[in-house]
């Protein structure tokens, strides 16, 4: 396991100052600061609701004060790699919804795309504004050793967590201003401006003035509602729900106290199937009837584009290196994790024979659900998954169990290592890509645990990219 702080029981150079600082904190100060941080979070109202929880109680996401540091050389590589993937993913989406060159070139089996319910046939042949399908991509990156960062998945629809990236920094700066004087740390506060800028660059065909951007949320019961309102606030745009918008003669408007106001770009944080009850799930109560028609008539842009979810598919993920080479003619900068696709006979055999050594994932699953970690599961759990795979092999992929790198947390009063991952947020607009220097570090708070999802005992840390 790679320890990001220690090297041969010595503290790495760029962690020196932070480590000394952490060690010097008296126990009572740690406790006090922890409470202070919690109160700050509570006051600001950063909470998240947990799925499968009927009374939808709000919880605070646990925050750990020990920052995770990334050197500028390391960051340069991550940044380049993430941008490369984001561009490739958009080129891929544009291709499969138009001519399908990559399928014709036989680089990806056609079944994997066309049979996939995430491939939205209503999007075929539609010219998405500026050819950008997925303007916000959050790639989950893990570190395996000194040199190797690997990408676990790319979230192309509506990745969440960026509000924590910004708030974690805000809280650290408030509590420990002295640290920011000692170290030169890249800022992350420009993210909302970048996002607005990128969204505005994606105005639809029939918009000939300063585009009006809104964020569309499913509502305050959604687990990421805080983030939706946070972004709307910092971007200075309206946070709307389905009922706030309506379509008349193919134009999308929002209801305001002054009367209807035309909307040009919708950063939607609701799933495809809910956006328009006429075109998609007719039982959707949170969607806007006629929105898809308005979109196709070039009156409004929906970001991300309906049907972008196909690129989130974990079986497609395994082809990202091929996708990068095909569209960009470049070698992938960041590695993929070795992936066995159970739809392939040999791979399936291998997976079934080695279940206790693998992580098995549903191709459409997210949030750490529908997942088997072989080494941490009982025989019974493994057998359940075996049956599931046999029943529907195409629905599963498997990956080796990765030893995620570790960074210490303040466990009670002392430092103790925990596994972490990293999610930077890449923005892709018309002829521009933007990425703030930082990201969200998620940490598995339980000792030895590899699951960093907030819904399953994960916490967050501030992530510092050094400016050297």
Partner 1 sequence: MLSRTAENLFWSARYIERADSLARLLEVGYRISLIPNTERGYTNEWESILETSGIKSEYFKKYKTISKENIIFFLLFDTENSSSVKNCIKTARENIRMVRTAVTLEVWNAINSSYHELDKNLKDTKNILKELPEIIEWIKKQVNLIRGTILNTQLINDGYDFLILGTYFERADFTARIINVKYFILLPSINYVGGDIDNFQWSLMLRSISSFRAFKWAYGEQEITYTKIIDFLILNMTCPRSLIFSIEKINHHLGRLSKFYKQTSTSNKKMTLMYKKIKNLNAHKITDIGLHEFLKSFIEEINFVYKKFEQKYFFGSET
Partner 2 sequence: MKVKITHSTTYQYNSTVPRLIQCLKLYPSVCDNQEIIEWKTFSNNGKILESHTDALGHRIQNIFINNFNGQLKITSRGILKTKDLSGVVKGLKEKVNPLCFLRETDLTRPCKNIEKISKNSKKNNKSQIEFAHKLNLIVSNSINYTSGSTTTSTSSKEALKQKKGVCQDFAHILISAARFNQLPARYVNGFLLEETGSGVNTTHAWVEIFINNLGWVAFDPSHKKCIDDKYIRISTGFDFKDASIIKGVKNNYNGDEFLETKVNIETCQ
**Residues binding partner 1: number (CB under 8 A):** 21
Query: What's the closest the beta carbon of residue 243 comes to partner 1, in angstroms?
Result: 7
Candidate list 90, 155, 217, 279; residue touching partner 2; CB under 8 A: 279
Here the tokens at position 124 are 């075929």
Candidate list 98, 190, 229, 356; residue touching partner 1; CB under 8 A: 229
* Cα gap 92→108, rounded to integer Å: 11
Give the contact letters, 35-74, x = binds to partner 1 (CB under 8 A), - = no. -------xx-x-----------------------------
Candidate list 86, 224, 232, 443; residue touching partner 1; CB under 8 A: 232
Q: Which is nearer to partner 2, 187 or 250 (CB)?
A: 250
Query: What's the closest the beta carbon of residue 40 comes to partner 1, in angstroms?
Result: 12
User: Which residues, 234 to 273, sit near partner 2 by CB under 8 A?
Assistant: 246-250
Query: What's the closest the beta carbon of residue 245 comes to partner 2, in angstroms?
Result: 10
Here the tokens at position 73 are 């050389």
Quick one: which of 165, 174, 173 has its CA closest to 442?
A: 165
Q: Would you count residue 117 as binding partner 2 (CB under 8 A)?
A: yes
Query: What's the closest the beta carbon of residue 358 comes to partner 1, in angstroms?
Result: 42
Q: Which residues contact 40 (CB under 8 A, 6 or more apart)?
A: 171, 174, 175
Q: Would you count residue 457 as binding partner 2 (CB under 8 A)?
A: no
What secondary structure letter does DSSP report for 318? T
Judge contact between 267 and 303, C-beta under 8 A.
yes
C-alpha pair distances (Å), 191 with each of 8, 234, 323, 383: 37, 9, 27, 45
Q: Which is nearer to partner 2, 12 or 122 (CB)?
A: 122
Return the range that interacts with partner 2 (CB under 8 A); candidates 58-66, 113-121, 301-309, 321-329. 113-121
* Cα gap 152→30, rounded to integer Å: 33
Binds 278: which of partner 1, partner 2, none (CB < 5-8 Å by kind): partner 2
* Cα gap 351→345, rounded to integer Å: 10
Q: Would you count residue 193 as binding partner 1 (CB under 8 A)?
A: no
Judge contact between 274 and 280, C-beta under 8 A.
yes
Q: Which residues contact 458 (CB under 8 A, 6 or more apart)?
A: 62, 442, 443, 444, 445, 451, 452
Give the contact letters, 94-113, x = binds to partner 1 (CB under 8 A), - = no. --------------------
User: Within 10 Å of residue 94's Cβ, how many Cβ atoms?
Assistant: 17
Return the range that interacts with partner 1 (CB under 8 A); candidates 95-103, 234-242, 338-346, 434-442. 234-242
Binds 220: which of partner 2, partner 1, none (CB < 5-8 Å by kind): partner 1
Q: Would you count residue 260 as binding partner 1 (CB under 8 A)?
A: yes
Candidate list 51, 114, 184, 369; residue touching partner 2; CB under 8 A: 114
Label residue 174 exposed, middle or buried (CB < 10 Å: 0-12, 13-18, 19+). Answer: exposed
Query: What's the closest the beta carbon of residue 325 comes to partner 2, in angstroms?
Result: 23
* Cα gap 424→191, rounded to integer Å: 11
Return the range that interacts with partner 1 (CB under 8 A); candidates 197-205, 228-236, 359-367, 398-406. 228-236
Q: Return the ∠ at Cα 211 (arms to 118 and 139), rounded to 5°.
A: 40
DSSP element (H, E) containing 214 = strand 213-216
Query: What's the closest the beta carbon of residue 326 comes to partner 2, in angstroms?
Result: 18
Q: Would you count residue 80 as binding partner 2 (CB under 8 A)?
A: no
Q: Which is nearer to partner 2, 282 or 354 (CB)?
A: 282
* Cα gap 273→278, rounded to integer Å: 10
User: Within 10 Å of residue 57's Cβ, how many Cβ atoms?
Assistant: 9
Can you tell me which residue has the tokens 């598919």? 313
Judge contact between 264 and 300, C-beta under 8 A.
yes
* Cα gap 386→370, rounded to integer Å: 13
Return the range that interacts with partner 1 (CB under 8 A); candidates 1-9, 187-195, 235-243, 368-376. 235-243
Q: Which is nearer to partner 2, 293 or 335 (CB)?
A: 293
Query: What's the closest the beta carbon of residue 202 comes to partner 2, in angstroms?
Result: 19
* Cα gap 301→294, rounded to integer Å: 9
Here the tokens at position 13 are 């150079």
Quick one: which of 134, 115, 137, 102 has its CA closest to 322?
A: 102
Candidate list 20, 27, 146, 233; residue touching partner 1; CB under 8 A: 233
Candidate list 72, 193, 241, 339; residue touching partner 1; CB under 8 A: 241
Binds 241: which of partner 1, partner 2, none (CB < 5-8 Å by kind): partner 1
* Cα gap 320→327, rounded to integer Å: 10
Here the tokens at position 129 are 């504004």
Query: What's the closest the beta carbon of residue 225 comes to partner 1, in angstroms?
Result: 8
Give the interface with partner 1 as residue ranges (CB under 8 A): 42-43, 45, 219-220, 229, 232-233, 238-241, 243-244, 254-260
Give the interface with partner 2 as residue ranges (CB under 8 A): 100, 110-111, 114-117, 119, 121-126, 246-250, 277-279, 282, 289-290, 293, 296-297
């Amino acid at each position: 396991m790679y320890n990001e702080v220690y090297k041969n029981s010595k503290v790495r150079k760029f962690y020196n100052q932070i480590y000394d600082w952490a060690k010097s904190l008296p126990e009572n100060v740690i406790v006090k600061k922890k409470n202070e941080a919690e109160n700050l979070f509570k006051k600001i109202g950063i909470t998240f609701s947990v799925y499968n929880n009927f009374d939808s109680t709000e919880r605070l996401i646990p925050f750990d004060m020990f920052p995770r540091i990334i050197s500028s050389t390391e960051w340069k590589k991550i940044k380049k790699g993430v941008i490369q993937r984001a561009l490739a993913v958009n080129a891929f989406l544009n291709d499969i919804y138009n001519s399908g060159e990559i399928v014709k070139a036989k680089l990806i089996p056609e079944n994997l795309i066309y049979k996939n319910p995430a491939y939205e046939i209503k999007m075929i042949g539609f010219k998405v504004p500026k050819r950008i399908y997925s303007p916000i991509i959050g790639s989950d990156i893990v570190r395996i050793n000194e040199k190797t960062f690997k990408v676990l998945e790319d979230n192309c629809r509506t990745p969440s967590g960026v509000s924590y990236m910004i708030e974690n920094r805000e809280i650290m700066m408030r509590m420990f201003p002295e640290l920011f004087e000692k170290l030169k740390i890249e800022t992350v506060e420009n993210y909302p401006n970048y996002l607005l800028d990128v969204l505005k660059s994606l105005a639809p065909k029939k918009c000939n003035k300063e585009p009006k951007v809104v964020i569309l949320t499913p509502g305050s019961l959604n687990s990421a509602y805080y983030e939706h309102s946070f972004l709307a606030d910092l971007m200075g745009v309206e946070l709307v729900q389905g009922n706030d918008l309506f379509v008349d003669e193919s134009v999308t408007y929002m209801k305001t106290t002054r009367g209807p106001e035309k909307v040009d770009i919708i950063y939607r944080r609701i799933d495809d199937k809910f956006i328009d009850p006429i075109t998609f799930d007719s039982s959707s109560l949170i969607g806007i009837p006629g929105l898809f028609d308005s979109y196709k008539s070039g009156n409004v842009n929906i970001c991300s584009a309906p049907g972008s979810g196909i690129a989130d598919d974990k079986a497609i993920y395994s082809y990202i290196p091929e996708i990068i080479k095909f569209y960009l003619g470049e070698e992938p900068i960041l590695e993929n994790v070795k992936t066995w696709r159970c739809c392939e006979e040999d791979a399936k055999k291998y997976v079934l024979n080695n279940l206790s050594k693998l992580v098995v994932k549903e191709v459409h699953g997210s949030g750490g659900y529908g997942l088997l970690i072989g080494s941490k599961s009982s025989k019974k759990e493994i057998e359940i998954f075996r049956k599931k795979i046999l029943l529907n092999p195409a629905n599963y992929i498997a990956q080796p169990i990765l030893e995620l790198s570790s960074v210490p947390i303040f466990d009670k009063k002392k430092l103790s290592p925990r596994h972490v991952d990293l999610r930077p947020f890449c923005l892709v607009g018309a002829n521009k890509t933007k990425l703030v220097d930082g990201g969200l570090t998620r940490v598995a708070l339980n000792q030895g645990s590899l699951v960093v999802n907030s819904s399953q005992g994960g916490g967050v840390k501030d992530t510092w990219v050094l400016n050297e």
